[in-house]
Amino acid sequence: MSCKLNCDLEELIVRIPNKENKQGKFMKKIKILIAILLIAISFTGCRLELPTDEFVGGKGLLSVVFIDTGNSDSIFIDFPDGRKMLIDAADVNDKNKIFDVLREYKTEKINYAINTHPHSDHIGSYPEILKTYDFDKFYMPKVEFDNDFLNETAQVINSKNKLFTRGKAGMVLSNDDVYAEILSPMYDHYGEENDYSIVLYLKYGEVSFLFTGDAENKIENDLLNKNKVPEVDVLKVGHHGSKGSSSKNFLNAAKPRYAVITTGKNSYGHPDKKVTSMLNAMGIKTYRTDLSGNITFTTDGKTLNPPETER
Ligand SMILES: [Zn+2]
């Protein structure tokens, strides 16, 4: 840490003349007085610059809404300062559910529009949402597959003269009261399309969340091997509770107090019984959008309230 005042002060002390005449002595006293004053000011200045881990709080609420869009993902986040984040936009027929939440939180602009990966159950409603709402940045991983929804999303982004931002590990989206960092993808190529998913860590004060998209065990292991699994309060369970995600080692490392499974009527067997039983056995309080409807967490950065649910 540098302190500019201190550096200036050292120069000043060196330059104090050492003349033993009366005027010199008087001037010396004045300069010593100035030096003492500057030391006092510089200490105040330095103290203000000290980094602190302590969260001051009182800056408003962060809300995280897991929207009940069926067996798909759409998670809305309202920052304490009013910024809005949308992680995924579910299927094409789910737009009204998402619009309802955007309206409820008086959204004018989506600051962070994120698509974890362009499968239809994560990108389906993005074309309509991006046509309707202004947005700052659209994040998605660099993928080697596409579909009509991605192409349509790209057309809307182009028509608004915006760009894709390629989300990848290490990218910090927000670094103020709310810290948001992409933890995965770490690599350019994956064997499974789900493993391209953007995994996002978000922390407000002392309360943290992990959003895993449809990332499966391979990604969980990559994160474990790199010591990159953060301990969090709330975990969005990977891939709608599929048996290919949520390994015991991963859950042990993340140690969530709450888990949320975004699921609905489906033919894939989501959520898998093995996953729900394990969450239960580990004492992780688990909510499911198919059973509870919209699930809303709010926190002031100190306390995480138990979620409010639609039903
Ligand atoms: Zn999915």
pLDDT tens-place string over residues 15-41: 333 434 445 555 556 565 655 555 554
- Gap between the Cα atoms of 72 and 170, Å rounded: 26
Give 164 Cα–ligand 1 centroid separation in angstroms.
21
Which CA distances in Å does 154 have to 33, 99, 127? Answer: 66, 20, 8
Q: What percent of the chain has pLDDT over 90?
A: 80
Q: Which residues contact 102 (CB under 8 A, 6 or more apart)?
A: 76, 84, 86, 110, 129, 133
The set of residues, in sequence order, having a beta carbon less than 8 Å from that of 253 and lying 6+ positions away, is: 224, 229, 231
**Which residue, 208, 279, 266, is CA-closest to 237?**
279
Position 1 confidence tier, pLDDT thresholds 50, 70, 90 = very low
Cα(118) to centroid of ligand 1, in Å?
9
Task: Tell me, in angstroms, the distance from the centre of ligand 1 to residue 245's CA.
Answer: 12
Please determine, for residue 154, whether its predicted confidence score (pLDDT) is greater than 60: yes
pLDDT confidence of residue 17:
37
CA distance 128 to 178: 28
**Distance from Cα 235 to the centre of ligand 1, integer Å:** 15
Position 199, amino acid: V
Average pLDDT over residues 186-214: 98
pLDDT of residue 158: 97
Ligand 1 geometric centre to CA of 87 (Å) = 12
pLDDT the model gives residue 24: 53
Distance (angstroms) between ligand 1 centre and the Cα of 272 equals: 14
CA 73 to ligand 1 centroid distance, Å = 6
What's the CA-to-centroid distance between 215 and ligand 1, angstroms? 9
- Give the pLDDT of residue 8: 33
Q: In angstroms, rounded to a whole number, what is the distance separating the alpha carbons of residues 263 and 32? A: 71
Spacing, Cα 249 to ligand 1 middle (Å)? 22
Pairing of strands 285-288, 295-299: unpaired
For position 53, what pLDDT does the model report? 56
Say if CB 112 and CB 86 are below 8 A apart. Answer: yes
- What is the chain's Cα-based Rg? 25
**Topology of the domain comprising 62-309:** Metallo-beta-lactamase; Chain A (3.60.15)
Residue 37 has what DSSP assignment? H
Calculate helix-pair angle for 4-14, 22-49, nearest 10 degrees: 160
Half-sphere exposure of 209 (CA within 13 A, CB side): 25
Q: Virtual CA dihedral for 206, 207, 212, 217, nearest 10 degrees?
A: 70
> What pLDDT is attached to residue 274?
98
What integer best gives the mean pLDDT of the chain?
Answer: 88
φ/ψ (deg, to 5) at 286? -115, 135
* Rounded distance from Cα 27 to ligand 1 centre (Å): 76
Q: Which two tokens stand for residue 223?
A: 């994160």
Overall average pLDDT of the 39-49 stretch: 44
Residue 59 has what pLDDT?
73
CA of 28 to the centre of ligand 1 (A): 74
Residues with beta carbon < 5 A to ion ligand 1? 121, 214
Contact call for residues 209 and 234 (beta carbons, < 8 A):
yes
Domain range summary for the chain, segments of one domain joined by +: 4-49, 62-309
What integer pLDDT is reported at residue 34 of this predicted model?
A: 56
76-124 pLDDT tens trace: 999 999 999 999 999 999 999 999 999 999 999 999 999 999 999 999 9
Reading the block at residue 23, the tokens are: 């005027």
Q: Ligand 1 mean position to 177 CA, how many Å? A: 30
Under 8 Å between Cβ of 239 and 245: yes
| Span 279-308, average pLDDT | 97
Which residues, 6+ apart, have CB-to-CB distance to 111 below 8 Å? 79, 83, 84, 85, 135, 136, 137
61 CA from centroid of ligand 1 (Å): 28
DSSP reduced 3-state for 50: coil
pLDDT recorded at residue 55: 63
Indicate whether 14 pLDDT > 50.
no
Ligand 1 mean position, distance from CA 35 (Å): 64
Residue 42 pLDDT more than 80?
no
Predicted pLDDT at 195 = 98
* Backbone dihedral angles phi then psi of residue 147, each to the nearest 5 degrees: -160, 180
| Distance of CA 240 from the midpoint of ligand 1 (Å) | 6
Q: What is the mean pLDDT of residues 220-243?
A: 98
Measured in Å, residue 213 CA sits from the centre of ligand 1 at 7
Q: What is the mean pLDDT of residues 160-185?
A: 97
Q: Is the pTM of this model over 0.85?
A: no
